[in-house]
Amino acid sequence: MPDPIAVVDRNAIVRVANPVAEESIGLKSGTCLHDFMRAAGADGCKVSGFLHLCLASTESLPTRFELTQGAPTVVYGSRLVLPGSTSDGLVLLRFDQRLEITSKFASLNDKLAAMTDKARHNHIQKNQLKDMVITDVLTGALNRRGFEQLLIREHKRARRYGRPLSLAVLDLDFFKAINDKHGHAVGDRVIRHFAELCGASLREQDSIARIGGEEFAVIMPETGLAAGEAVTERIVEATKSNVLSIDNIRLCYTVSAGVSELHAAEAIDDLVQRADANLYVAKDHGRARCISDNSRIN
């Protein structure tokens, strides 16, 4: 019986498959080879590496795939150039479940294994770098970039599905005086302490961001104004009742906050500006308090 044969392009899409490929292993034209092989238990990174090597070689290269469905399979791949064709990046694949891979090609498997490990490592590094770009080093909260990215996503979701979204902007009271009196190292401890208090007061769906020196923001999806104000009030009250001990220093500090809820068809800038305006009202009326759209003092 002939072997299953298929032609795939550089994007791993099957252009042509012979009848044996369709009948015996279910590989059809238009199928994504990555999806097909992963469904059969193959390593997706290894599949990508194998196609890359085939495109770079003029020889027929075999490798063995350990599949959870069916017997171990040796796949032979070679770059395909059709006379008179303008298509580039085609690979001819032959699937053989009867043969064991010979020692002649053992180095190819080793090379593929190394490429697979490198791909995984690069993926992990990419995610770590992405986290570093949007994370505040001092507190571990989102930084301003992370805050803006998340707020854009939540704003789109709230607008699309008609769901509530509330935003709180918080600013530590008299923070400059703390820095001037005790130094920036103590000021940093205060900022970290406040971020921890926020984390303990927030719900699972809420996100805290440090958007300035002593300024923070809390994004509250699926949250109306009353609930958003209640969450923010917890933070304000927790700050009032906590004492931070640093060496021989016992510090008490407070925070002021403004809360707003997204209005229908409202832009992000308007939501942020209303929260900021409410924060300034809180500052102007004694600090250590939370002011929302409903409780704003005129």
Report, as ranges of residue numbers, the positions in the chain whose pLDDT lies below 70: 1, 44-45, 58, 66-72, 81-88, 97-132, 296-298
CATH number assigned to the domain with residue range 5-130, chosen from the 4 options 3.40.50.12780, 1.10.132.10, 3.30.1180.20, 3.30.450.20: 3.30.450.20
Global model pTM greater than 0.85: no
- The answer to whether 100 is a known catalytic residue is no
Q: What is the DSSP string of the chain?
A: -PPPEEEE-TT-BEEEE-HHIIIII---TT-BHHHHHHHTT--HHHHHHHHHHHHH-SS-EEEEE--SSSS-EEEEEEEE--TT----SEEEEEEESS-PPPGGGHHHHHHHHHHHHHHHHHHHHHHHHHHHHTB-TTTSSB-HHHHHHHHHHHHHHHHHHT--EEEEEEEETTHHHHHHHH-HHHHHHHHHHHHHHHHHHS-TT-EEEE-SSSEEEEEEET--HHHHHHHHHHHHHHHHH--EEETTEEE---EEEEEEEPPTT--HHHHHHHHHHHHHHHHHTTSS-EEETTT---
> Which residue of the set 66, 148, 196, 214 is catalytic?
214
pLDDT digits (tens, 9 = 90+) for 134-175: 899 899 999 999 999 999 999 999 999 999 999 999 999 999
What's the CATH superfamily of 144-292? Reverse transcriptase/Diguanylate cyclase domain (3.30.70.270)
Domain residue limits, the chain: 5-130, 144-292
